[in-house]
Amino acid sequence: DVKVTQSSRYLVKRTGEKVFLECVQDMDHENMFWYRQDPGLGLRLIYFSYDVKMKEKGDIPEGYSVSREKKERFSLILESASTNQTSMYLCASRRTGFHEQYFGPGTRLTVT
């Protein structure tokens, strides 16, 4: 089974803090994704990566950056957290040539 893990299930940070969300997958997938999920808005793609050190902006990249130094790990960085970044963050991975994405359990981030 594909296993995608995220570093924290719940996180509380203060406005202006730098926040790191970590995601690790154990199936050697080339592609990794970060989404945020908000009520009534569904899932929105923040960034994705199709290879080590490669990244592409998704639909809502503003206020976020990412890092992919190793194939199995994809980090989402909030440079200066703001209250409107309070959300559920979901990481996913996908093997090239296959269509389905596999998701981690999510990190519920609250910025106060």
Residues in touch with other proteins (CB under 8 A): 4, 6, 9, 31, 33, 40-43, 45, 48, 50, 90, 92, 99-106
Q: Nearer Cβ to other proteins, position 50 or 71?
A: 50
C-beta closer to other proteins: residue 9 or 18: 9
Give the three-class secondary structure for 71.
coil
Cβ closest to other proteins, residue 19 vs residue 90 = 90
Distance between CA atoms of 21 and 32, rounded to whole angstroms? 13
What's the closest the beta carbon of residue 16 comes to other proteins, in angstroms? 28
**Contact of 89 with 19, CB cutoff 8 Å:** no
The nearest distance, CB 80 to other proteins, in angstroms, is: 26
Which amino acid type is present at position 19? V
| Residue 43: CB minimum distance to other proteins, A | 5
